[in-house]
Amino acid sequence: MSGKPSRIDQAYTALKSAIIEQALRPGDKLPEDEVGQLFSMSRTLVRQVFSRLNAEGLIEIGGKRPATVAIPSLDDAVAAFEVRQALEREVITLVIKRWNPEHKAALEAHLAREIEAAKAGSAPMSIRLAGEFHTLLAEMSGNPLLSRFVSDVVSRCSVVLAVYGRPHSADCGVHEHRDIIDAIAAGDATSAWDLMRHHLGEVEARALIGSSEDSPRSLADMLSPYVEGGAGTKARPAKNRGRPRLQVVKENR
Amino acid sequence: MSGKPSRIDQAYTALKSAIIEQALRPGDKLPEDEVGQLFSMSRTLVRQVFSRLNAEGLIEIGGKRPATVAIPSLDDAVAAFEVRQALEREVITLVIKRWNPEHKAALEAHLAREIEAAKAGSAPMSIRLAGEFHTLLAEMSGNPLLSRFVSDVVSRCSVVLAVYGRPHSADCGVHEHRDIIDAIAAGDATSAWDLMRHHLGEVEARALIGSSEDSPRSLADMLSPYVEGGAGTKARPAKNRGRPRLQVVKENR
DNA sequence: TGGGATTTGTTCGTATGTATT
DNA sequence: GAATACATACGAACAAATCCC
């Protein structure tokens, strides 16, 4: 479909997935050259990736400190959900206007994957799919700009859940997704709006107190599922140039 | 207020203003080193500025061609206005919720400047102020993310007006701004929503057929009001290193 | 059509600032 | 508290691709 997933896009997608699935936790440091070695590209390219991630509020750069996974404040959290309400309301309006059977099929298929992930107990997959449901819906609006904004704000909300939410806080919204699909398919905008508002309110309400556990692993280990789609043996040279002790230090608070 | 308007911000603001006020027209080329010399900074910094401008849809970069002022398609245009409707609806809701006398004073002052600019017949100033009215309103929502999104989409709409709108297409919306202020001050959300929807519809409707005139000037001349706030004699070395013929070539269509 | 000049994309080296010991 | 080490910010040079003549 898309011409070339130029390595910069690969790294962007990989980091984004890692953050959203909470393989990288808020506050974790992301040294430029280390990431560059993992994805086998130079610091300049890493900088571009970091720039995009920063624009979406996923990481924080600037100062002359190493880039860190963003730690949104409580104000940021409520702001993100406020904007999300407004955007997804418009999404519903447009999707109903342009509704067709293919949309329903795609949403049903996605919902099936969500249920499957929930049964398998795969928390990272559930978190990822819960967000992708909303971005998928946004793409059906036929408005690329709206889709981009929704993707942006959904990412921010994912980080908020990572900071303030309980673990496994995303796997109980599947039924709400089902109701939303049904309301949209019935063309009932008012019901769909209310359901969406309720749904997002539930998600927001789950953001209360976060349990922080310490699991000091290496950056390479955390990112191994995301680099080159496997154990990461292909892109990384077998002979690491004398740096066995690379390790991510968690922000102390 | 803000600590340091580090030269990168200055250049960003200058280019943004130049594009919005149509001193730079859609399709105009923006060579990196030329802009760098104008603002006396290196290409690396210019690249960062271009990156931000590109993220907001003001310019187009990539594909090893020189950066150009964006030429939004008709689909992009309607998309921008759709999103804008949704965002500004939420803005009104929040501003009414957090309304206070200082907000009214600030809006009245801004409106006065709009009227003054309209009387003076200063088209660029009118265009700029018309957009800033909406960003000012968005800042009063108390939601920084919403404010950012509104600023983004307002910029896009400004470029749309530059491409498809008639000249001076922004200076007749002042009365509508007044009505919106009054409705918000009265706490009447429904009326404010309708007025805003009507207002944005009017702005969108003015985007019909654009008259394109040719006025081949040099990039330095077009940007002279924006660089260093004056005639640009301070930053530019008096002895130009043998390049009197730098000139912006308009995209043929 | 082909060659030359110009411009972008990328990489590498140096300097400045922060955090650590 | 001072010195060391490290990471980022910035700038200059190289190579590739494009546009113009």
Using an 8 Å CB-CB cutoff, list chain B residues near A82.
Answer: 90, 94, 143, 145-146
Token readout for A56 is 């979406």
Residue B46 domain flag? yes
Using an 8 Å CB-CB cutoff, list chain A residues near B82.
Answer: 90, 94, 143, 145-146
What integer is the mean pLDDT of B116-130?
Answer: 85
- Tell me, what's the pLDDT at A127? 83
B51 and B132 part of one domain: no
What percentage of chain B carries pLDDT values higher than 70? Answer: 75
Chain C footprint positions (protein CB, under 7 Å): 7-13, 16-19
Decide if pLDDT at A170 tops 70. no
Please give the full DSSP string across chain A, using - where no structure is assigned.
Answer: --S---HHHHHHHHHHHHHHTTSS-TT-EE-HHHHHHHTT--HHHHHHHHHHHHHTTSEE--TTSPEEE----HHHHHHHHHHHHHHHHHHHHHHHHT--HHHHHHHHHHHHHHHHHHHHT-HHHHHHHHHHHHHHHHHTTT-HHHHHHHHHHHHHHHHHHHHHBPTTTTTT-HHHHHHHHHHHHTT-HHHHHHHHHHHHHHHHHTBS----------HHHHHTTTGGGSSS-SSS-SS--S-TT--PPPP--
Q: Where among A205, A224, A240 does a domain terminate?
A: A205
Q: Where among A41, A70, A99 does a domain terminate?
A: A70
Residue B141 domain flag? yes
If pLDDT is split at 50, 70 and 90, which confidence band does A174 have? confident
What integer is the mean pLDDT of A83-88?
Answer: 95
Q: Does A144 touch chain B (CB under 8 A)?
A: yes
Q: Does A50 touch chain B (CB under 8 A)?
A: no
Residue B219 domain flag? no
Burial class (CB in 10 A: 0-12, 13-18, 19+), A118: buried
- Tell me, what's the pLDDT at B127? 83
Q: Cα-flanking dihedrals φ and ψ of residue A68, to 5°?
A: -130, 150
B61 and B78 part of one domain: no
B144 and B111 part of one domain: yes
B198 and B82 part of one domain: yes
- Tell me, what's the pLDDT at B243? 32
Nearest nucleotide to the CA of B42, by C1', is D11
Whether nucleic acid strand D comes within 7 Å of the CB of B35, the answer is: no
Closest alpha carbon within chain B to A90:
B86
Round to the nearest angstrom and report the end-to-end CA distance of chain B.
Answer: 43
Q: What's chain B's Rg over C-alpha atoms?
A: 19
Element (DSSP H or E) covering residue B45: helix B43-55
Q: For A161 and C11, how far is CA from C1' in angstroms?
A: 38
B98 and B146 part of one domain: yes
B116 and B201 part of one domain: yes
- B230-239, pLDDT tens digit by residue? 433 333 333 3
- Tell me, what's the pLDDT at A247? 36
pTM, two decimal places: 0.83
Residue A235 domain flag? no
Amino acid at A222: M
Note down the domain range covering B127.
Answer: 74-205
Mean pLDDT, chain B, whole residue set: 80
Whether nucleic acid strand D comes within 7 Å of the CB of A60, the answer is: no
Question: Which of A155-169, A217-231, B163-177 is least confident?
Answer: A217-231
Residue A180 domain flag? yes
Q: Do B90 and A79 touch (CB under 8 A)?
A: no
Q: Does A82 touch chain B (CB under 8 A)?
A: yes
A46 and A94 part of one domain: no
Using an 8 Å CB-CB cutoff, list chain A residues near B75.
Answer: 144
Decide if pLDDT at A206 tops 60. yes
Residue B27 domain flag? yes
B24 and B111 part of one domain: no
Residue B34 domain flag? yes
A54 and A97 part of one domain: no
Q: Does A84 touch chain B (CB under 8 A)?
A: no
If pLDDT is split at 50, 70 and 90, which confidence band does A85 have? very high
Q: Do B146 and A82 touch (CB under 8 A)?
A: yes
- B74-87, pLDDT tens digit by residue? 888 889 999 999 99
* CATH code at position B196: 1.20.120.530
Q: Does A150 touch chain B (CB under 8 A)?
A: no
What integer is the mean pLDDT of B155-183?
Answer: 79
User: Which residues make up the interface with nucleic strand C when CB must lie under 7 A?
Assistant: A 6, 41-45, 63-65; B 30-34, 43-44, 47, 61-67
Using an 8 Å CB-CB cutoff, list chain A residues near B88.
Answer: none
Measure CB to CB from residue A79 to each of B86, B87, B145 and give the nearest one: B145
CA atoms within 13 A on the CB side of A172: 8
B198 and B79 part of one domain: yes
- Tell me, what's the pLDDT at B175? 86
What integer is the mean pLDDT of A7-24?
Answer: 89
Please give the full DSSP string across B46-69, using - where no structure is assigned.
Answer: HHHHHHHHHHTTSEE--TTSPEEE
A98 and A64 part of one domain: no
Q: Where among A205, A223, A238 does a domain terminate?
A: A205
B119 and B169 part of one domain: yes
Token readout for A232 is 């990461």
Q: Does A247 touch chain B (CB under 8 A)?
A: no
If pLDDT is split at 50, 70 and 90, which confidence band does B123 have? confident
- Tell me, what's the pLDDT at B167? 59
Query: How many whole angstroms separate alpha carbon A85 and alpha carbon A74?
Result: 17
Do A137 and A99 meet the contact criterion of CB atoms below 8 Å apart?
Answer: no
Beta strands in chain B (DSSP E): 29-30, 59-60, 67-69
Token readout for B199 is 């207002």
* CATH code at position B55: 1.10.10.10
What integer is the mean pLDDT of A152-167?
Answer: 83
How many domains does chain B fold into? 2
Residue B150 domain flag? yes
Question: Which of B6-10, B125-129, B156-160, B221-225 is least confident?
Answer: B221-225
